[in-house]
A = this chain, B = another copy of it.
Amino acid sequence: MTTQVLHTVHISLEERSYPIHIGHDLLAGESVFSGLPSAHTALIVSNTTVAPLYVAKLKAGLAPHYARVLTLELPDGEAHKHWETLNLIFDVLLANTADRKTTLFALGGGVVGDMTGFAAASYMRGVPFVQVPTTLLAQVDSSVGGKTGINHPLGKNMVGAFYQPQMVLCDLATLGTLPPREVSAGLAEVIKYGPIADMEFFDWIEANIEKLVSLDSVTLAHAVKRSCEIKAWVVGQDERESGLRAILNFGHTFGHAIEAGLGYGEWLHGEAVGCGMVMAATLSERLGLVDAAFVARLTRLIAAAGLPVKAPLLHAADNAGAYLDLMRHDKKSEAGEIRFVVIDGPGRAALRSAPDALVREVIDACNL
């Protein structure tokens, strides 16, 4: 198969603007790299799972553009998204005397992208980087928008930077090697864009959910494109999450509590978000913002994507209390008040606080 760019989405952030190329076999496509700032050295950061599949191909694509292409394999998984792993990137950069024009390529899923992005933001106070997301989740969400970071024992993504890549390459060919569970996890973030911003897209996802689950490539290309467009529109208006951008966290407040409560890695991020969207939609219903039919429809689609729709038990004696405690520690909380993204009518999201008693009812209603 030859390199083919199917869609290009532009993220408009003044001098930090960048293109997202979506297509087939982009890794080895030398031409897409010609727009990047020139540099002597490139560093491909990947993980032990993805590297054997795609590093050689990307390295070949970069060879005409850089005198030296270094590679680094990080351990795979959310459990390694901490300082010690991040430091491996600085170690290899410094051991190779990499200068401040050195360009980093994040080849992998969200964890590789977040850590490589934060390393690029911080190495010598900022070097260029390119996102090459190889999971559906990363292609439709984490590689777009400039959020980078690592976890802290007391909270996820608590240390990081807003730092934009020079380019994002979404190579659909890399999705072929994804385990089905990760495909479903990625679809959670695709589905998310419907209720918060675009019910026509939601209709389309409903009509195409089987093709998406089975990785039909033309269908996937449209899902990635439309997801990136919506995210680009939101991020373009609120790069640093002072307002509107928070709507992208629909399902994430409950979802983060699930991830933290079960221990990171037990559920995939997308799985937690899938279930979290059911919970946030249920809260929206209890607040009188949407009807029960809407919640049921969203729940059906999430289930059809292969995602969990029932909330796990985090604590035997006071389960709702455990959820509330975890959510109060979320980054989006302010002075201990939890700010929920709710659906304020289909296709429109809003930020709301809610009485603890009501949130407890929602958690109980959504439990297994």
Instruction: Kindly provide the distance from the CB of A233 to the nearest chain B CB, expressed in whole angstroms.
Output: 21
A95 near B154: Cβ-Cβ < 8 Å: yes
Contact partner, A90, options B90, B152, B332, B333, Cβ 8 Å = B152
- Known contacts: A123-B159, A154-B94, A161-B122. The answer to whether A333 contacts B99 by CB under 8 A is yes
A161 near B158: Cβ-Cβ < 8 Å: no
C-alpha spacing A276/B207, complex, angstroms: 69
What residue of chain B has the Cβ atom nearest to residue A155's Cβ? B94
C-alpha spacing A41/B99, complex, angstroms: 39
What residue of chain B has the Cβ atom nearest to residue A97's Cβ? B329
Contact partner, A99, options B87, B240, B334, Cβ 8 Å = B334
**Mind listing 30 A-B residue pairs with CB under 8 Å?**
A40-B334, A40-B335, A41-B335, A90-B152, A90-B158, A90-B159, A95-B154, A97-B328, A97-B329, A97-B333, A97-B336, A99-B331, A100-B332, A100-B334, A101-B334, A101-B335, A121-B161, A122-B122, A122-B149, A123-B158, A123-B159, A124-B158, A124-B160, A125-B147, A125-B148, A125-B149, A125-B160, A125-B161, A125-B162, A161-B161
> Per-position contact with B for A134-176: 1 when CB-CB < 8 Å, else 0?
0000000000000111001011011111100000000000000
> Per-position contact with B for A98-140: 1 when CB-CB < 8 Å, else 0?
0111000000000000000000011111100000000000000
C-alpha spacing A336/B124, complex, angstroms: 15
